[in-house]
Amino acid sequence: MTQSDIDIVKKTAKLARLELGEAEAAKFGEQFGRILEAFQKLAKLDVSGVEPMTGATELSDVLRDDRAKPSLERERVLANGPKQDGEYYVVPKTVGGDA
């Protein structure tokens, strides 16, 4: 762990509006240093010839044509409700007092 690891942790905590004590900053600095070491090992790998992955499988979304089709008739839909007022359902008030 280096002082720069601790400084990065403190700066990140400040940006996130988190309060860290010295002991916490040192603990997270040590963890951060190990994480950076792992990424440095990964950066050294030769990945030329390896195709990029966008997901764990090669499955893709199944799409269908977006075609307009007639919807249900308004009267038929409104018939499913207990009360109607013209083009709308009438339901009991649920928020904000009586009525």
Domain positions in the chain are 3-43
Taking the alpha carbons at both ends of the chain, their separation in whole angstroms is: 66
- Work out the burial of residue 5: count CB atoms within 10 Å of its CB; fewer than 13 is exposed, 13-18 middle, 19 or more buried: buried
- What the block records as the tokens of 7 is 């400084």
| pLDDT at res. 97 | 67
Evaluate the CA torsion angle 24, 25, 30, 33 in order and state its sign: positive
Average pLDDT over residues 60-80: 87
For 5-60, the pLDDT digits (tens) are 888 889 999 999 999 898 998 898 889 888 989 999 999 999 999 888 877 887 77
User: Which pTM was predicted?
Assistant: 0.45
Q: Is the model's pLDDT at 99 over the cut of 60?
A: no
Query: Over 80: is that where the pLDDT of 96 sits?
Result: no
